[in-house]
């Protein structure tokens, strides 16, 4: 059979309560040797959250950026904790999507501008 598929993850539309981030995702601008400064672009992550709130895995759904950005975002989200998604008050495995926008504008050395913009959807 397809037992190899692993656990089932419910999508947002099937959940009574969406999974919520408990941690602040900090995604550093990746260092790109030889590249002309930070890039601007967007990527979408699919984050698979277990019923216990841990991240089981992260997949890149789409990206307009080099692979190092996908890897940096995936690594950042893999370490985060969530309050799990629920259906009728029962915690379940769920899938969350996050749109991550890198704004490659010149930074003035302040770390605050080095954040990626993150939207859940």
| Three-state DSSP string of 56-78 | EEEEEEEECCCHHHHHHHHHHHH
Model pTM? 0.81
Give per-residue pLDDT as tens, 30-80: 887 777 777 889 999 999 999 999 999 999 999 999 999 999 999 999 999
pLDDT of 2 reads: 52
Cα separation, 82 vs 80, in Å, equals 7
Mean pLDDT of 85-111: 82
Measured CA to CA, the distance from residue 67 to residue 65 in angstroms comes to: 6
Give the mean pLDDT of the chain.
86
Name which residue leads in pLDDT, 34 or 96: 96
State percent of the chain over pLDDT 70.
84
Helix H or strand E encompassing 44: strand 41-49
The pLDDT assigned to 37 comes to 75
How much is the pLDDT for 33?
75
Residue 112, classed as helix, strand or coil, is helix
Q: What is the DSSP letter of 12?
A: G
Structure tokens at 96: 């969350």
Instruction: Say what the pLDDT of residue 120 is.
Output: 72
């Amino acid at each position: 059979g397809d037992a190899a598929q692993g656990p089932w993850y419910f999508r947002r539309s099937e959940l009574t309560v969406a999974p919520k981030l408990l941690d602040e995702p900090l995604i550093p601008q990746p260092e790109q040797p030889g590249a002309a400064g930070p890039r601007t672009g967007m990527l979408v992550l699919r984050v698979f959250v277990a019923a216990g709130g841990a991240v089981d895995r992260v997949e890149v759904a789409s990206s307009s950026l080099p692979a190092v950005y996908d890897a940096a975002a995936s690594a950042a989200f893999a370490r985060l904790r969530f309050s799990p998604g629920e259906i009728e008050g029962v915690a379940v495995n769920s899938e969350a999507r996050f749109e991550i926008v890198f704004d490659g504008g010149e930074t003035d050395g302040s770390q605050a501008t080095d954040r990626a913009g993150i939207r859940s959807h």
